[in-house]
Amino acid sequence: MHHFVPSQVFVQPDALAYPATRQATSKLKQLGVPITVTSRVPAAGRELSPAERYREAKRTLSLRVRKELDFASCKPSAHYQLPLTSSCPGLCEYCYLSTTLGPGPYIRAYVNVEEILSRAEKYIQQRLPDETYFEGAATSDPVPVEYLTGSLAKAIEFFARQSKARFRFVTKFTDIDSLLKVEHGGHTRFRFSINSQHVIEKFEHGTPRLKARIAAANRVLHAGYPLGFLIGPILVFEHWEKAYAEMFEMLRDGLDEIINADVTFELITHRFTRRGKELQLAVFPETELPLEEDERRFKFGQFGYGKFVYRKETMSQFDEYFTRTIGNMFPRARIEYLV
């Protein structure tokens, strides 16, 4: 279980007042990571290529106070985003965050967790008597920095006490053992992002392999969490049906007691925006991602920008294939959506 270790850390001066910052910086000092107190992260050197700038950003951590306490909406997985972190150290070629985080997607961890959670409480109150769902990984993978901040553990404990709210987050990373003993009350759905071995090996650089993610999911299942799997991006490639069938077989064989567990699947097909595509090609010029606009359908997304999605006939093929395969192999599981 190796931790993600940033190569440099920038701390906002007003973040110094928070316990999460003290906890994180004392661990980072032990690891010998250089820490600079500054109000803004310096821009990467001009001499760097887009690919070098991107990789440097993915190893840069900023500890900061989140001033903006209004939460964004989060369809289709929850009512609101719970903003604990943004970005992640993974180097996935297709990352949809390249549209929103831009060319320097350094990792931000927000240290004012208590303020963020008390804002969540207000949202919960406003929607009573309905339940409110919060997504902890809308713009990030929160697991790699958890050993530094402990934010996910705090959020999980907070939601364990809420009768009318539920928390969910998703990760590709396996450094999850600190969360196994947290009091969760069954109110947090712990999800893993998985894909066929072909997609992981070809496009998801710097992330744990499928087998390791399944082993981590099995530990989460034993800790009594509701478990979920986000399969995405679903891509068409040669023999894709066979590749995804192998993924499902590995999943079934690697999970104890899966037959009776409360497990969900979320299915997200590959999509890209023009801006995201430009960035992806600048950072991964050799990419083999299918980025042909004329093979796609153009559609406006919930945040106002247009994206290129698979055509309707491909979507029906996916729908038929995944519904049938999941239904056969995981009869108790629930497919939450296919987008």
Tens of pLDDT, residues 28-76? 999 999 999 999 999 888 899 989 999 999 999 999 999 999 999 998 8
Write down the pLDDT at residue 302: 66
Write down the pLDDT at residue 43: 84
99: confidence class by pLDDT, cuts 50, 70, 90:
confident
pLDDT at 101 over 90: no
**Ramachandran angles phi, psi of 127, nearest 5°:** -95, 0
Whether 198 contacts 27, CB under 8 Å:
no
Q: How far apart are CA 183 and CA 170, in angstroms?
A: 18
pLDDT at 258 over 90: no
CB atoms within 10 A of CB 321: 15
Write down the pLDDT at residue 291: 96
**Residue 61 burial by Cβ neighbours in a 10 Å radius (0-12, 13-18, 19+):** buried
Write down the pLDDT at residue 260: 63
pLDDT at 303 over 90: no
**Any idea which architecture 65-338 has in CATH?**
Alpha-Beta Horseshoe (3.80)
How much is the mean pLDDT over the chain? Answer: 94
Q: How far apart are CA 247 and CA 265, in angstroms?
A: 13
Enter the pTM of the model.
Answer: 0.96
Residues 6+ apart with CB under 8 A from 293: 308
Mean pLDDT of all residues in 73-80: 93
Whether 186 contacts 224, CB under 8 Å:
yes
Half-sphere exposure (Cβ direction) of 131: Cα atoms closer than 13 Å: 11
Nearest to 62 by CA among 115, 18, 15, 113: 15
Q: Give the domain ranges of the chain.
A: 65-338
Mean pLDDT of all residues in 138-152: 97
CA 52 to chain centroid, in Å, comes to 23
